[in-house]
Structure 1
Amino acid sequence: MDNFWINALWSLAPTVLVGVAFWVIMRSIIRSDRNERAAYAKIEASERARLGLPPAAGAANGPSFDA
C-alpha cells in the first residue's frame, strides 16, 4: 500500500508543478502589462498637460484596466 501513495504523488507532481509554473508566468505577464499601461498613461497625461491639451477621455479617475 505504501507504493500506491508514493506512485500517486509522483504521478500528480508533474501536473501540479507545470500548473504552478504556468500560474506564476501568467501572473508576471499580467502584472507587467498592468504596470506598463499605468506608466504609459502617466507619460501620456504629462505630455498632454505639457502641450496644453485636455485630459484624455476616461482619464478623470485614472487608467481603466477593464478591457
Structure 2
Amino acid sequence: MEYIAVLAPSVVVGLIFWFAMKSIFNADKSEREAEARAQTEANLRNSGPDAEGNAAK
C-alpha cells in the first residue's frame, strides 16, 4: 500500500500533463485546419472570374 501512496501523486500529475498537452495539440490541429480552409476559400475568391465575366489575372 505504501507504493501506491508514493506513486499516486506522480501518476496524477502525469495524467494532468498528458490531458493538457492533448488538448493543446487538438486545438492547434483544429486551428491549422480552419486556417487552411480560410486560405483555400480566399484563393478561390481571388482567382475566380470577376463581375464582368473576365478571368482574374
Normalised to the residue count of structure 2, the TM-score between the two structures is 0.80
Counterpart in the other structure of 2:45: 50
**Aligned residue type for 2:11:** V
2:32 to 37, 43, 57: 37
Give the equivalent residue in structure 2 for 1:22: 17
Percent identity, aligned pairs only, is: 35
What is the total number of aligned residue pairs between the two structures?
Answer: 48
Cα distance in 2, alignment partners of residues 52 and 20 from structure 1: 48
Stretches of structure 2 lacking an aligned partner (at least 5 in a row): 49-57
Structure 1: stretches of 5+ with no match in the other structure = 1-5, 54-67
Structure with greater contact order relative to length (CA < 8 Å, sep ≥ 6): 1
Deviations 1:38-60 (A, max 9, x none): 0000000000100007xxxxxxx
Richer in helix (by share): 2
The Cα of 1:12 is off from its aligned counterpart by: 0.4
| Higher-Rg member (1/2) | 2
